[in-house]
Amino acid sequence: MAQGRQTDAAMSRPDDATAWSTLMARVQDGDAVAYRRLLEDVTPYLRSLVTRHRGLSGETEDVVQDILLTLHAVRHTYDPDRPFGPWLVAIARRRIVDRLRRRGRIAAAETSLEPEHETIAATAANIHMTIDRRRELQEAIRALPAGQRQALLLLKLRGLSLKEAALESGMSIAALKVASHRALKALREMLGKRT
Amino acid sequence: MVSTPDLIDELCTGLKPVRRLRPPLLRTALWLLLAATIVALLAAFRGTRTDLLLLLQAPAFAAAFAGSLLTGALSAVAAFQLSLPDRPRLWLLLSAPPLVLWLSTIGYGCLTDWVSLGPDGVRLGSTLECFATLLLVSLPAAAALALMLRSTAWIDPTPVAISGGLAVGGIAASAMTLLHDLDATVMVLVWTLGATALIAALGGLLGRRIFRPL
């Protein structure tokens, strides 16, 4: 009803719509020539429908093909007594909405790759910390309990293996594991709170 | 990615004639006939409730029964319409008036004290039997509906599934009203409305899984 009026208004060339109706009826009877003409005729129209949605830039052809495939799959649902335009536009709208939704879902779950995520081989290039943050980190490490601080220094900063760190510190491997885990957690909390 | 002209080539190659879908009203009638057959078979095997004729003369009972039956039938009409791509979602509202009537009978029944609770109050004795009837009616009816709507409903599955759920629920509720000696109208209403709401909600939630692209 309301949608019908809207879609009629959206049809750019109403005279085409009647021709499309006839073509579609022939398609249902298996006329491949009519089908090719219809699909080639509606494709630019569909493209213009899709490009109106800015969220789909770069995917226009994908969405147009999606709509053509859907049209193919449901071609038996077209009633030749009814106008073709609203039928086509309704299918196109559904596909566009589906695509926009999927885009939204993907965008919500992903973080785009920014230049600062680039990792460069030189160590210095990967240090983004300002002097301020570095001081904060040093203070946080200093604030850790002695056992945790030692485990962190040996395992994470000097990069020793668990066995080597156990020999050097006299702590058991299990205790080292626990201490370094707790140290990282504590650091994360301390630094997280201040940001 | 395939280019669009190539896709068109592919679609046109070996195009076969398709059988046009029958008009939605005819398909609705077919489904309702099937549902009526299921209920009739059940009634033939286990008989209708003994006081049915008497109860139908009571306005609240008759209104509730008409409400559930019309909700089922009109929701089926809506489901078949909504399964076609170019029908507006306004069809969802078609079954709203009988649904409101059906819901309002709960309040009416309580207010007029028409419901006789009896010395034991509302009993839950026939709950299991009720559940069996609910399943016996709604499972085959839902399966048939899903099968009939399958080829088209995946384009926009949720509204179709909600109306489909209401259709199955309304019919199953009417069957329960016909077949079961529930002790009080309130019981019938709570049971049938609860079941309908559940089926419609399931339809809405699972719509996208039931109706997948072919």
Mean pLDDT for all residues in chain A: 79
Among the partner-chain residues A29, A40, A90, the one whose CB lies closest to the CB of B17 is: A29
pLDDT at B214 over 50: no
**Do B55 and B61 meet the contact criterion of CB atoms below 8 Å apart?**
yes
Q: Render pLDDT for A156-165 as a digit per residue (tens, 0 to 9).
A: 888 888 888 8
Contact residues, chain A, for B80 at CB < 8 Å = none
For B62-96, how does the pLDDT look when each residue is reduced to its tens digit (9 = 90+)? Answer: 888 898 899 999 999 999 999 998 888 899 999 99
- Asked if pLDDT for residue B131 goes beyond 80, the answer is no
Residues 77-106 of B with CB under 8 A from A: 84-86, 88-90
Domains of chain A, earliest start first: 2-109 (1.10.1740.10), 129-190 (1.10.10.10)
Least confident of A114-118, B30-34, B44-48: A114-118
Query: Is the pLDDT reported for residue B34 higher than 90?
Result: yes
- pLDDT reading at A44 higher than 50: yes
* Local confidence band at A7 (pLDDT 50, 70, 90 cut-offs): very low
Q: How far is B6 from chain A (nearest CA, A)?
A: 10
Residue A87, SS3 per DSSP:
helix
B153: closest chain A residue by CA = A74
Q: Which tokens in the block code for residue B72? A: 């089922």
Size of interface A-B (CB pairs under 8 A): 82
Q: What is the mean pLDDT of residues B92-118?
A: 69
How far apart (Å, rounded) are the C-alpha atoms in residues B97 and A116?
A: 59
Closest residue in chain B to residue A7, using alpha carbons only:
B86
Q: What does the alpha-carbon distance between residue A28 and residue B17 come to, in Å, rounded to a whole number?
A: 5
More confident residue, B120 or B21: B21
The per-type count for chain A, helices as H runs and strands as E runs, is 9, 0
Alpha helices in chain B (DSSP H): 4-12, 24-46, 52-56, 59-82, 96-111, 127-153, 157-179, 185-210
End-to-end CA, chain B: 21
- DSSP assignments along A54-65, one per residue: GGGTT-HHHHHH
The alpha carbon dihedral of A15, A21, A24, A26 has a sign of negative
CA B115 to chain centre: 26
The mean per-residue pLDDT over the stretch A75-88 comes to 89
CB A32 within 8 A of CB B13: yes
- 8 Å CB contact of A40 and B8: yes
Tokens 């030189």 found at: A122
CB contact under 8 A, B7 and A68: yes
Lowest-confidence pick of A131-145, A159-173, B39-53, B120-134 = B120-134
DSSP-assigned letter for residue A113: -
Distance CA B146, CA B158 (A): 13
